[in-house]
Amino acid sequence: MTVTPLGLAVAQFAPAADGAANLDTISDLVARAASRGARIVLFPEYSSYFVDPFDASLAAHAQDLDGPFVTALTDLAARHGVHIVAGLVERAASSDRVRNTVVAVDAGGVVARYRKLHLYDAFGQRESDWVEPGGIETPETFEVNGIRFALMTCYDLRFPEVARILADTGAHVVLVAAEWVRGPLKEDHWRTLLQARAIENTLYVAGADHPPPLGVGHSVVIDPLGVPVASIGTATDVAVAAVDAAVVDRVRRVNPALALRRYRVVPRE
């Protein structure tokens, strides 16, 4: 099969405690991205519902994977002929905690999902008070025109073994949905870690964040050499880049780091 480049959009917006308003913004940004040639549209973490600081309303607004938020994303994907990737507050077995989940949907429904592995118990935050961690399991991926996409969430970016496991699935692109909290040097951490994960795994990495004042913004697509090829500043907007499996293959011929490594990743659990 001939693999052709695809348009990948990062969509940046600030989700709020209003699910209908969030979907209105998502709808506008999907239309904007599709009009610019995007076939994949990546949204931030907690796109379905977000409140700062977290409180009991998080669990009250959690949904199942076949709930109204995912159904609305599926309808949008069908309308615009795209795949949509977005963060969802998913209902968990425990009534007082939720799952921090990223779903990828096409016109037929969910094609992959990822539950955040490492919770943000750092920089004075305690995500684990409200969210249960994802289990260690085989990562789910999806393909569009021969290009394989894998999913990741925010704080997992700081753990290089997560991206390495995703690279081992054969992924050409890692999609990172984030709410990268602002703070000293946090913009630098965000960009540096996205570039590092791309360089060390010789694949594309895209990150979609909340804009300020809570997030850092700077949603971006990074190529397999670590070069930013499309980005947003701090506005609500989309940026579109072409991703190409042939570029990944070419970089890996020149720098076969994955083939030369002498270690593999194994879980602690």
Q: Which residues contact 236 (CB under 8 A, 6 or more apart)?
A: 12, 13, 14, 25, 29, 211
Q: Contact 241/5 with Cβ under 8 angstroms?
A: no
Catalytic residue among 116, 127, 132, 179: 116
Known catalytic membership, residue 154: yes
Active site residue 116: yes
**Quick one: which of 215, 201, 129 has its CA closest to 170?**
201
Residue with tokens 């270690």: 263
24 — alpha (psi -120 to 50), left (phi > 0) or beta? alpha
Q: Which two tokens stand for residue 208?
A: 């979609």
Q: With b meaning 16 or more CB within 10 Å and e meaning fewer, what string describes 36-69?
A: eebbbbbbbbbbbbbbeebeeebbebbbebeeeb
Q: In the structure encoding, which two tokens stand for residue 138, read together?
A: 């085989």
Question: Beta strand 109-115 with 6-12: parallel, antiparallel or unpaired?
Answer: unpaired
Catalytic residue among 90, 127, 132, 154: 154
Q: Which residues pair with 147 in a beta bridge?
A: 144
Q: Give me the active site residues, please.
A: 45, 116, 154
